[in-house]
Structure 1
């Protein structure tokens, strides 16, 4: 069975804003990935389940510890799932609820795919048997609250495009994760209860296409990537970024940002990539020359009317450790021929500057 490669939340710098995970095939996992985890072994698998006693839910396909039950019109999790299953695909069904014993005995399950169902209720102990679960894909359902009792082994959670309006205190307590994608939910700033992220260690967080009017408070302070694009954020105030000293990628494109308070960017000294495109800025944010590691700045599609000689590069030599390899300023009401060449003296290559005349 052909399995396509899963793109994990690999924290590698890139010049593009990370997009929500979208599954295009049966399972976006690779045999190599599972083999590297010591989970996939043909000989061991054939020994675990005697050939004379094949077990597979009715209508599903079972092969190499992968159970595919997608697109079957199921209204509940099917029984008789083999106990040695590593990947369980239940996407594109009509499941409405996860009950306490739905995953009983699946102690080896590594990934659970529940995309595009109608799930609105999850029992608090539904995930209790899943002692090794690392990937949970819960997007495009009808959840109004985050499920409780998430496994402590969970590494990646995709739960975008639901109806979640609130994140309760202690939801992620004790978890150490790489990635949470919760975009496409009607979350407002008031929907984050105090302590909602308490005890969570997290590298990547995306809350896009929500109803945020400002950067949420008390997000995990060890974040490396934070993406809040396609919201209604109006401004970046002085203390908004004070917790996130480890950020190296910040995505704030497609908001309503008019103002970035002086000194705000000083709280993220390790930033490599900054997305402020498609906002309402009238000037280049202050503080960019002091950001020693900043390499990519997206400022296109704003209202910037003037670019100063020292807006990007420090005065003098030896202050900026990393040269820019990408600055976008197109679709702004500023004439590129009026910008002094010295403005981009700390840019790696002239092709890294994306400029052009402004057209309404």
Structure 2
């Protein structure tokens, strides 16, 4: 009987101990269920929706959290994972009975306050109890993973080294943790924001953190700024302040949740690039090929906006463009060739710096516009400029400045004359070789021509005189074109060009010449005198030339048999290759042609010739053998003649001697039909 009371006492003590154990274990399970009902046990994804994640314990440091956009002067925070709230309780001392406040590192935390004492760990003050949890990470399907510096979750090793600079999709971002001050920041903070639950439609997105009230002390703002600077040092944490929508960095974009939980920002260490601005498409009628854009006759009224640094050629011929702005070529700075011919561009419509950006421009064509002066600020790289058929009426001494590389300049069809072109206008052109000033109003050769000039064309002007000083400084000139002017032979000074050593071609067609001019350049090879009123070729007029004249064109003149002397071609017998005497008044083949051993092309058509003696074109040599006193041998030396034109004369082809063309290898080269009749 004495054993029974003792056994009852022992049994009672055991029951009390079991009861205490059950109560102690019930608290974590109750807390875990409470947190699950609030939705805090769900991890947040990087997309617009939240996903339920599998439970994981003590993983690597987390990706920084994403602060929500403020609503009604409060701040909302998203915390990655609080699934294990009942599993990992803090050892912080709890202060029950003081409105649910907690104590952490000597600091008082309000009820619902959230902070991060260590990287990748988030704590919550709930009714006087401190509950902490670590961040959950998305499982990876790759053989090798690494955890980048300052990050909480591992990544695949092939992309982990470039997380900060590479672009990842939203679905690849697993969990984003909340942001709170470091433990060192807690010492500098006296007042922490409180939070209240923010329920969603189906799931609870996060915890709303109320902003600090305006009536706090002024020094709290200073401490807050200091804490913000400290947080910036840690790349693994995002700022918890209200995002500034006005001064948002380019790497931060804003989205809205499908669950109507408010917008959020992507962290800056996962930049979402802004897509490049695409250039507007080319207008209809334009085409592109390699490095060229062609908009010929495309009905454009302005230069199309093109952005292509690789473009080198732009053809805008035949449109209705009137202006060229300073920014017209900003998107195509590497152009080398521009053709703006046949538009309606005016001088006031061209910006002063329209072409300045084109540092590689070599060719500029502005033919057929309405320009009154040469555009300013042209690139010094230009090698060719064409401004034909405009309304240019002046070129001052600065009109062509800085164009030291210009080789070709064409200004035909304008209103230029010696009165409005400065003698210093061509001074800057240190490389000019080719100059066209035709169809203007010059009466004399322009002064101040560049010393480098090789070809000069002044056709269709009103030039009446060639003075002795015209070409004093152009020692390299090779070609001079003066057709369709008003020149007479006595208005050409004897020393105008006779001493030129490189002048090989002169075109004096359609002037008022009555004789072949004397004192022609010694180096002359090519002389064109078509369409004058020439009646005579003076004797020895070509005798001073070295090496000798090769091409002589005297078509459409008034030459007669008396106007050609036996020595008229002296000096050209051994050099002349082409001789044009067609459309004159010759009645016979001129003397001396049979002496021209290099002659290949002879035109005598459209004259009044009636017969062709054997010796006039093909020379016949008769030699005597000293041993045979009575035998004569007819030796006909071959000629180089390839074409002979004698049509439209009065030749009776049936009466022609068989030896008239014996030196010509092929009779097909002799044109005799048709002939005129009385």
**Bucket of the pairwise TM-score, normalised by the shorter protein:** 0.7 to 0.9
Instruction: Please give the per-residue CA displacement for 1:4-44, whole angstroms capped at 9, x wherever unaligned.
Output: xxxxxxxxxxxxxxxxxxxxxxxxxxxxxxxxxxxxxxxxx
Aligned equivalents of 2:292, 2:393: Cα separation in 1: 34
Aligned counterpart for 2:345 among listed residues 119, 133, 139: 119
Note if contact 2:539-2:570 (Cα within 8 Å) is conserved in structure 1. no
Structure 2 equivalent of residue 257 of structure 1: 487
Please identify, of 259-268 and 127-136, the stretch whose mean Cα deviation from structure 2 is larger. Answer: 259-268
After superposition, give the CA deviation of every residue in 1:203-255 in whole Å (9 maximum; x if it has no partner).
00001111111111112221000000111101112212222211010000110
Supply the distance in 2 between the matched residues of 1:247 and 1:116 (Cα, whole angstroms). Answer: 32
Deviation at 1:55, TM superposition (A): 6.3
Equivalences for residues 306-345 of structure 1 within 5 A: 306-314=536-544, 320-321=546-547, 323-336=548-561, 338-345=563-570
Report which of the two structures shows the higher radius of gyration computed on alpha carbons. Answer: 2
* TM-score (normalised: structure 2): 0.43
Of 253, 259, 266, 2:498 maps to: 266
Once the two structures are TM-superposed, the CA of residue 115 in structure 1 deviates from its matched residue by 0.7
Task: Give SS of 1:205's match.
Answer: strand
Q: Deviations over 1:305-348 (max 9, x none)?
A: 3222111122xxxx612x32211223223314641343223335
Establish whether residue 188 from structure 1 lines up as the match of residue 448 from structure 2.
Answer: no
Gapped runs of 5+ residues in structure 2? 1-276, 586-605, 608-678
Structure 1 gaps, min length 5? 1-51
Supply the distance in 1 between the matched residues of 2:351 and 2:339 (Cα, whole angstroms). 17
Q: Mean alpha-carbon deviation: is it higher for 336-345 or for 105-114? A: 336-345
Secondary structure of the structure 1 residue equivalent to 2:497? helix
Higher relative contact order (CA 8 A, sep 6+): 1
Using the TM superposition, name which of 278-287 and 219-228 deviates more: 278-287
Q: Secondary structure at the match of 1:327?
A: strand
Contact kept in structure 2, 1:241 and 1:267, CA below 8 Å: no
> Structure 1 pair 272/232, CA: closer, same or farther in 2 (3 Å)?
same
Instruction: Note the alpha carbon deviations across 1:78-102, whole angstroms, 9 max, x for none.
Output: 1134222111111111111111111
Query: Shift in Å at residue 304 of structure 1?
Result: 2.5
| In 2: Cα distance, 1:163 partner to 1:149 partner | 19
- Over 3 Å counting, the alpha-carbon distance change for 1:349 and 1:200 in structure 2 is closer
* Local SS of the residue matching 2:419: helix
Match of 1:150 in 2: 378
Instruction: Show CA shifts across 1:29-69 (max 9, x none).
Output: xxxxxxxxxxxxxxxxxxxxxxx967643333222021122
Indicate how the Cα distance of structure 1 residues 55 and 62 shifts in structure 2: closer, same or farther if over 3 A, else same. farther
TM-fit CA distance, 1:293: 2.3
How far apart in 2 are the matches of 1:184 and 1:272?
26
Cross-structure match for 1:17: none
Say if 2:535 and 2:557, in contact at 8 Å, map to a contact too. Answer: yes
Are the aligned partners of 1:55 and 1:80 in contact in 2 as well (CA < 8 Å)?
A: yes
Alignment partners' CA distance in 2, 1:199 and 1:189: 18
Give the corresponding residue for 1:79.
305
Task: Name the SS for the 2:301 alignment partner.
Answer: coil
Matches within 5 A, 1:36-185: 56-59=281-284, 60-121=286-347, 122-175=350-403, 176-185=405-414
Cα RMSD (Å) = 2.4
Cα distance in 2 for residues equivalent to 1:284 and 1:338: 11
Q: Find 1:305's aligned residue among 535, 545, 551.
A: 535
Contact map agreement 1:105 1:129 (CA 8 A) in 2: no
Whole-Å separation in 2 of the counterparts to 1:57 and 1:171: 34
Bigger mean CA offset, 67-76 vs 109-118: 67-76
* Aligned residue number for residue 220 of structure 1: 450
SS of residue matched to 2:358: coil
Q: 1:251 to 1:354 in 2, by over 3 A?
A: same
The separation in 2 between residues aligned to 1:117 and 1:276, in whole angstroms, is 34
1:153-173 CA-partner distances (Å, limit 9, x unpaired): 101111100011111212222
Distance 1:55 1:124 in 2: 26
Q: Measure the CA separation in 2 of the matches of 1:338 and 1:285.
A: 14
1:245 touches 1:267 (CA, 8 Å); kept in 2? no
Matched, 1:198 2:423: no
Are the structure 2 counterparts of residues 264 and 111 from structure 1 closer, same or farther at C-alpha, using a change threshold of 3 Å? same
Instruction: Return 257-266 or 202-211, whichever deviates more.
Output: 257-266
| Residue pairs, 1:237-256, within 5 angstroms | 237-256=467-486
Structure 2 residue matching 1:67: 3-state secondary structure? strand
Contact 1:56–1:82 (CA<8 Å) still a contact in 2? Answer: no
Q: Is the 8 A contact 2:551 2:576 kept in 1?
A: no
Report if aligned partners of 1:336, 1:355 keep a CA contact under 8 Å in 2.
no
Match of 1:296 among 496, 521, 526: 526
Q: Using the alignment, how far apart are the partners of 1:114 and 1:270 within structure 2?
A: 36
Tell whether the 8 Å contact from 2:500 to 2:522 is kept in structure 1 after alignment. no
| Cα pair 1:242 1:267 within 8 Å, conserved | no
1:265-314 CA distances to partner (integer Å, 9 max, x unpaired)?
A: 135331010111110122222222xx342110011222323222111122
SS in 1 for 2:299: coil
